[in-house]
Structure 1
Amino acid sequence: MTIILIIAGILLAAVVLQAKEPPVTSRDIERMLPVWKLEQDVILSRNGDMTIAFDVTLPEIFTLSNNEYNALHATWLKAIRVLPVNTVLHKQDIFIRAAYKAKFTEDQDFMQRSSELFFNERPYLEHSCYLMITLKSQDRKAASSAFSNLLRKTLVSPEAVNGKLVQQLLDSAGQFRRILSDGGLVGLRRLTTEEISGTPEAPGLLERYLFLQGAEDKPKIKDIVFKPEWKIGENFLQLYTLADTEDLPGSCSPHINYERYSTDKSKFSIGFASPAGQLLPVNHIYNQYMVISDTPKTLKRLEARRRRLQSLSAYSRENAISRDAVSDFLNEAISQGRQPIKAHFSLLCWTDKRDELKDLRNQAASALAGMEAVPHLEVSGAPQLWWAGLPGNEGDLPENECFETFAEQATCLLNMETAYRSSNSPFGIRLGDRLTGVPLHVDISDEPMKRGITTNRNKIVVGGSGSGKSMFMCHMLRSYVQQGAHCVVVDVGRSYDGLCELVGGYYFAYTEDNPIRFNPFYIAPGDVLDTEKKESIKTLLVALWKQGDESFRRSEYVAISNALQSYYSFLGKYLEIFPCFNTFYEFLQEHFVRELEDDKVKDRDFDIANFLYVLRPFYHQGEFDYLLNATENLDILQQPFIVFELDNIAGHGILFSVVTLIIAELFISKMRKLKGIRKVIVIEEAWKAIARAGMADFIKYLYKTVRKYFGEAITVTQEVDDLVSSPVIKEAIINNADVKIFLDLKKFQNKFEPLQATMGMTEKGRDLVLSINRANEPGRNYREVYIELGNQDMKVYRYEPSRFEYYAFTTEQPEKVKVRQSTEKHGDMRKGIAALVEDEKNGKI
């Protein structure tokens, strides 16, 4: 269906022509408009040009290695080679400053709302990338800066368009799209007629360019004035061009070093044109044009030029130099099979504040200088160049504003990167864009498995002291619990007590006044004594009875099994008896002894007197009578968040062995009984103590098995030497953890090679890790975190907590004391933190 564009009517009201000729009429302007109509998503111009437009998905900035930049460059070259002669490739990157808008919903908790408020109005660059492929009419006249269709009154007849040319354009664009997409780094999506022309609710591609609008803006008509100063609506515009070979960089490549993130041990790379793209923090449009010429004709023309210069070289040294340059160009084109093209690049910047124009010019010039180009502010030719940037009007690009080059060099000047993108998965955590900190939704568990990047959800987290490791882990676990996960944390150092109180979890820690308590004998209402529960209690009782070097007979194991079965049958008859170790011990003394006598079980098969004597310290008024007789925090299977603090018992043989057995039994029960619920176990620095206590096999079992039960195991450490030297880490954890998370490791950069080898890290990963926190934004309190998924997807994010999150998760002792005091004063942790934040805002603390 043919759709006549409304752009003509819009420009009738918008364009103010500053010409000395008599005013043109509405009909004259309508005839001058280059865009004629849209048919089957193809833009047709009045000159007979046809244009297909694509929405382009680019790689995220700071995520590509040198090899990937080179591969992307080669892919673009392959795609460009399939375009026919007389084609204009126009890549248009639109960067518009925007501000993050907080999103509040009824199901958000205290911390989520505080985070939304914290990031509200955070500025960032909204980036859209479009690609236009224009096949110029065969009989159209070449445009120049002095003669464009903005002023031309005689246009090529629309009848010049024929079906063969349309099919040629569609075929070439299809091949171009396929080659780029097969490269795996760039995605192209064909724009529809509605997306090009716009709707009453949303601006289309044409309106966005003409009136400098964002993708989320409402359509609005603006005046366009070129003299005495260039304005579109309230915006003041400046145009910089790369159109003269004297202004171009002396050399170029697909990537350049980014010094802010580089070290003497690593070189951090970005795209060659990134300074004019995502790194330029102003409103701007980066237009990139490549005109595909007839190679034989071009070479023939240049050869004729070389001969003319040769004949004139005796009269001028400049002619001799020019002759040699043309000769070198021709030699390279023929010997290496280069494709000569014409290219033009321009940077259109704008601001709505006149007093910002000087700073705008400085930033734009600095960006071009970062590409080693000479900034050239275009004045006289600006209207024609702006007009040629209108999608569908690429054929009107002035030829005298283009320079001869090869596709290899021109492709280096393409903007290759975009901003970070959020995951599409419903599950994830909130992190921040590395450049601006604007919030992103990032899934590092489920989406990578669906994409085939990882085969499990296990993680290893490494960060030095003070790197923000504990705060990041608290943030991640709070997000997990809020999304329905069950988390078990084995900690040393009380890093999670604030989070545990915030989410209403169970916190098991040992102090003299409040020793650690469990009750492995308790069975929640509705639950049953299954085989797994019996086996876990038997294992615990055997561990309490026998030392590691003592022999253990099968008859003893059977006797303990029978004792448990009889005990729970006894509880079923006497419901008033509370299940715990005390009542189990009394049952053994009063009832099970008689059962053994009735069955004539001999002492050599099961010495009940020895069993009761050894376990006496865990019975009423014994040394450890508190340990297995808890009367609160009983239903640990259904509790979503549980912390086991091992700091004060790590050196205690009995307490530590009991606690580690209970932890193992608890998490295995959660794994097997909680169907469809995500299970997470976090082992902090306690993994070293656990491994020494004979639990290395449990860690290995976890990392190899937890995936099958919709779970993930996470090990956290701050000692790099542990990673390099521990066989448990190497064999069990690293080999079975597809997600690697690193925080600040700058102090280890001089001995990073062993860590890199142990972790199987690539050069790209090393450069990213060593760039962490090297150039943080001044005035922002945040830490950067590196996340690697399956040795394939590697990125550095910000973790920037709100002040509410900071006080909830802090591990600094003075601040924890403030939080505790404020909580006691206001009766609730949330109210206490809110009061602290308010006092901080008012300068009281």
Structure 2
Amino acid sequence: MSKKNVFDRLYIGIEDIMGSTVLYNSKGEYSVIFEIENVVEQYSADINAYYAFSDVMTSVIRLLGEGYALQKQDIFCKQKYEHEYSNMPFLSQAYFRFFNGREYTELKTYLIVTQEKPKKGFFNYDKKKFKDFHLKIAKLKDFLSGNGIKVRKLNEEEIKEYIYRYISFSFEKGKFTFNNFSVSDNDIKIGGKHLRCISLMDVGESNLPNTIKPYREEKIKGNDIASDILGFLSAVPGADCILYNQAIFIPSQRVEKARLSRKRNRHASVPDPANDAAKEDIDAVLDDIERNGKLLVYLHCNLIVSSSKDLDNSCNYIESQLDKSSIRISKSAYNQLELFQCAAPGCAYYTNEEYDRFLTLNDAAACFLYKEKISGSEDTPLKMYYTNRAGIPKAIDITGKEGKVKLTDNSNFFSLGPSGSGKSFHMNSVCRQLYEQNTDIIMVDTGNSYEGLCSYVGGKYISYTEEKPITMNPFKITQEEDNIEKREFLKNLIILIWKGSDGTVSKAESKIIRMVISQYYASYFGGNKSVSEKLRDYRKSLRETVTDYDEELSEEEIEKLVEEERENITATHEVVEELNFNSFYEFAMKRIPCIVKEKKVKFDIEDFSFVMDDFYKGGVFERTLNDDMDKSLFDEKFIVFEIDAIKENPILFPIVTLIIMDLFIQKMRLKKNRKALIIEEAWKAIASDLMADYIKYLCAPVKVAS
């Protein structure tokens, strides 16, 4: 084949057969190409992950067996970031417009399995051998998938594009063209591109480390951090594209072991320190093979570096980085065209056996395979965009539970930092993105940090002033909302007003208030139903109710509560016509003396009445619990409570926070979409025992039945 037509007969065809697309090279060797994703997260520093991936690839070599070549290609190519934003809201458009066109490195990884043809004679079709090839391809795909590696076969069109892009060395997104091809001893020119093929090994020199691990250690601020041996390839200065070609050839084990044994005998025949050392090394390798079931393989690794700027600078950087792992590149790689040709997909066997293949063990060869993946956007319906280390947007699932990969079932988080560090700025971005993805948001704000965002999304901004105080009517509920959880909330509210956030209440006082609340709603929702109908409905609601930490009520607890409700219904003679604090206060002042007299317990009714008067008709805080806040608040998607003006008020602050808590719980229980409660300056909120317990309740992990 003349040098002028070196690519004319590189391949002879592509065929869809037996469930795979098979690529045939000019020698008659056939290959199947997979696109895979490396499993070790870049910068994760997870040593175990490097070993795990290396073990998987070692097993892959063993699975393929003799007569196969495993070719792995990792392609690092500079791309321009693009994101379609024309149908997005204004701020999202501005966000992506800022990043569009920014340069970043994309990594594509391909795994190519090639069946070797007989070394002598013409190629003859062997039906049994060909069927065995496809069986191993199927096993390999299942094995990789079973070990958490994303893998898919390339079809005919994808293989053609892969080959064309390789020959033109154009892996950038979009269209590509073929151009003039010129080769010298040191580089290759394709149009305006300059390429250089760098061989990582020279069999004529000892340029590899004596021992190898699947990772290398880097010192960062005095700590050892694990990274891939060639982890620097994603950040080579001046390089437009780098292809790391790794080829592992699995020869006949019987032949290779016999060859090693003869070599050992030759060294043993001439007493000499160097020969003695060589003999010991060969004995150690043969012993390792027999004891641990390892395979002898041939390894070839080369880099193809493309640059339109300063190719020498890029190659010098690569050489200096490899030297840190005691790998010294071949200085006699004058066969640029040959190295480029043998790195073509499915052409691994084109490598020269004399000086481009290195004999080693399968586990050592697997250490040279690239193992890292460049972090990209997560596969998740909730896309929260942050910028990655390359400075381009990356979508992640901050809840950790909505994405394809489930990390947790508890999506709470907090943002911690000193004043001025950007906590509120960050949360503004988080809240905007959550809102745009159909999330109900309730915010507790101090300092007007979210007023602008609230105005932008058209939300409800609620702040306290003397002219327009925060008002609410927590007593006004529907019959569907009348459950044990709601009644407990109202009980806590009454106790909070009466005793304050630091006060204590006896069990008898707590039970009396709970009984009054139950009787209050039993009177209002009484209607024409019989006692048995009311109790039946109440029992049903209890069975559908969950308490703190999502624990269901036991049948014994349900029946006890039903008996209490029977007493409430039969004891109620007062007719409640309107639900608010005023009507509750009037009802309580009539019922509490009756309960105290009937049950013969102590209750300071004068103290209770004196404190509650402030919230009753004509009181200082009359409007606080009697005016409807907003009838549409439950359906409002973005609500901000600005509590800066009352955060030091010992009476109003606990009440308002309790109301906020109740609103969020009702949304959480009754609405089906995603909900978020954001508490600004949370240290002030947790200073209240009531709010601290509530946050602890919200953050409690969900208990899963065994």
Deviations 1:16-67 (A, max 9, x none): x7x5xxx76xxx974x334444342111223221211111111231236212
Residue 352 (structure 1) aligns with: 308
Q: Distance in 2 between matches of 1:137 and 1:383?
A: 23
Alignment of 1:33-112 (within 5 A): 33-40=10-17, 41-59=21-39, 60-63=41-44, 65-106=46-87, 108-112=88-92
Q: Compared with structure 1, are the counterparts of its residues 455 and 449 closer, same or farther at alpha carbon in structure 2 (3 Å cutoff)? A: farther
SS for the counterpart of 2:694 is helix
Residue 194 (structure 1) aligns with: 157
For 1:425, the aligned partner's letter is T
Q: Distance in 2 between matches of 1:560 and 1:380?
A: 91
Match for residue 519 of structure 1 among 472, 493, 511: 472
For 1:171, the aligned partner's letter is L
Q: Distance in 2 between matches of 1:463 and 1:377?
A: 52
Alignment of 1:177-576 (within 5 A): 177-184=141-148, 186-197=149-160, 204-214=161-171, 216-227=173-184, 230-244=188-202, 245-259=205-219, 262-264=220-222, 266-276=223-233, 282-311=240-269, 322=278, 325-334=281-290, 336-353=292-309, 356-376=310-330, 379-399=333-353, 400-433=355-388, 435-445=389-399, 447-448=401-402, 451-463=405-417, 468-491=422-445, 495-510=449-464, 516-520=469-473, 530-531=481-482, 536-537=489-490, 539-546=492-499, 548-551=503-506, 552=509
For 1:79, the aligned partner's letter is V
Deviations 1:260-309 (A, max 9, x none): xx344x53222223223577764100000111112221122122223334
- Report the CA distance between 1:210 and its aligned residue: 1.1
Alignment of 1:641-652 (within 5 A): 641-646=638-643, 649-652=646-649
Q: Distance in 2 between matches of 1:333 and 1:554?
A: 78
Identity over aligned residues, as a percent? 28
For 1:214, the aligned partner's letter is F
- Report the CA distance between 1:677 and its aligned residue: 1.5
Q: Conserved in 1, the CA contact under 8 Å of 2:70 and 2:111?
A: yes
Residue 573 (structure 2) aligns with: none
Are 2:697 and 1:698 aligned? no
Q: Distance in 2 between matches of 1:600 and 1:292?
A: 93
Q: Distance in 2 between matches of 1:682 and 1:498?
A: 16
Q: Compared with structure 1, are the counterparts of its residues 514 and 80 closer, same or farther at alpha carbon in structure 2 (3 Å cutoff)? A: farther
- Report the CA distance between 1:633 and its aligned residue: 5.4
Q: Distance in 1 between matches of 2:595 and 2:195?
A: 99
SS for the counterpart of 2:71 is strand
Are 2:125 and 1:164 aligned? no
Q: Conserved in 1, the CA contact under 8 Å of 2:207 and 2:329?
A: yes
Q: Distance in 1 between matches of 2:682 and 2:111?
A: 54
Q: Distance in 1 between matches of 2:606 and 2:264?
A: 109
- Report the CA distance between 1:521 and its aligned residue: 5.2
Q: Distance in 2 between matches of 1:449 and 1:603?
A: 56
Q: Compared with structure 1, are the counterparts of its residues 277 and 325 closer, same or farther at alpha carbon in structure 2 (3 Å cutoff)? A: farther
SS for the counterpart of 1:127 is strand
- Report the CA distance between 1:85 and its aligned residue: 1.5
Q: Compared with structure 1, are the counterparts of its residues 375 and 493 closer, same or farther at alpha carbon in structure 2 (3 Å cutoff)? A: farther
Q: Compared with structure 1, are the counterparts of its residues 480 and 125 closer, same or farther at alpha carbon in structure 2 (3 Å cutoff)? A: same
SS for the counterpart of 1:440 is strand
Worse overlay, 367-376 or 609-618: 609-618
Q: Compared with structure 1, are the counterparts of its residues 613 and 277 closer, same or farther at alpha carbon in structure 2 (3 Å cutoff)? A: closer
Q: Distance in 2 between matches of 1:285 and 1:415?
A: 11
Q: Conserved in 1, the CA contact under 8 Å of 2:479 and 2:525?
A: no
Deviations 1:91-121 (A, max 9, x none): 0111110010132232x12221111012111
For 2:80, the aligned partner's letter is A
Deviations 1:160-208 (A, max 9, x none): 2321221222223333333333322x232222222212xxxxxx22112
For 1:183, the aligned partner's letter is N
Deviations 1:409-438 (A, max 9, x none): 2111110011113222222211222x3022
Q: Distance in 2 between matches of 1:560 and 1:136?
A: 84
For 1:243, the aligned partner's letter is M
SS for the counterpart of 1:207 is helix
Residue 544 (structure 2) aligns with: none
- Report the CA distance between 1:238 and its aligned residue: 1.1
Q: Distance in 2 between matches of 1:277 and 1:295?
A: 36
Residue 765 (structure 1) aligns with: none
Q: Distance in 1 between matches of 2:511 and 2:188?
A: 93
Q: Distance in 2 between matches of 1:384 and 1:125?
A: 27
For 1:391, the aligned partner's letter is P
Q: Compared with structure 1, are the counterparts of its residues 258 and 737 closer, same or farther at alpha carbon in structure 2 (3 Å cutoff)? A: farther
Q: Distance in 2 between matches of 1:52 and 1:531?
A: 65
Q: Distance in 2 between matches of 1:241 and 1:553?
A: 81
For 1:117, the aligned partner's letter is R
Are 2:656 and 1:659 aligned? yes
Q: Distance in 2 between matches of 1:602 and 1:375?
A: 92
For 2:615, the aligned partner's letter is F
For 2:460, the aligned partner's letter is Y
Q: Distance in 1 between matches of 2:607 and 2:60?
A: 82
Q: Conserved in 2, the CA contact under 8 Å of 1:48 and 1:161?
A: no
Q: Distance in 2 between matches of 1:307 and 1:182?
A: 44
Q: Distance in 2 between matches of 1:486 and 1:88?
A: 55
Q: Conserved in 1, the CA contact under 8 Å of 2:342 and 2:349?
A: yes
Q: Conserved in 1, the CA contact under 8 Å of 2:476 and 2:579?
A: no
Q: Distance in 1 between matches of 2:76 and 2:330?
A: 20
TM-score (norm 1): 0.67
SS for the counterpart of 2:633 is coil
Q: Conserved in 1, the CA contact under 8 Å of 2:380 and 2:404?
A: no
SS for the counterpart of 1:359 is helix
SS for the counterpart of 2:142 is helix
TM-score (norm 2): 0.79
Match for residue 96 of structure 2 among 110, 116, 122: 116
- Report the CA distance between 1:322 and its aligned residue: 4.9
Q: Distance in 2 between matches of 1:290 and 1:560?
A: 78
Q: Conserved in 1, the CA contact under 8 Å of 2:197 and 2:303?
A: yes
Q: Conserved in 1, the CA contact under 8 Å of 2:444 and 2:679?
A: yes
Q: Compared with structure 1, are the counterparts of its residues 389 and 161 closer, same or farther at alpha carbon in structure 2 (3 Å cutoff)? A: farther
- Report the CA distance between 1:318 and its aligned residue: 6.0
- Report the CA distance between 1:553 and its aligned residue: 7.0
Q: Distance in 1 between matches of 2:34 and 2:443?
A: 48
Q: Conserved in 2, the CA contact under 8 Å of 1:275 and 1:370?
A: no
For 2:263, the aligned partner's letter is R
SS for the counterpart of 1:53 is strand
Q: Compared with structure 1, are the counterparts of its residues 89 and 278 closer, same or farther at alpha carbon in structure 2 (3 Å cutoff)? A: farther
Where in structure 1 are there 5+ consecutive unaligned residues?
Answer: 1-14, 141-155, 198-203, 570-578, 704-731, 739-845
Q: Compared with structure 1, are the counterparts of its residues 630 and 475 closer, same or farther at alpha carbon in structure 2 (3 Å cutoff)? A: farther
- Alignment root-mean-square deviation, CA: 3.9
For 1:294, the aligned partner's letter is S
Q: Distance in 1 between matches of 2:422 and 2:127?
A: 63
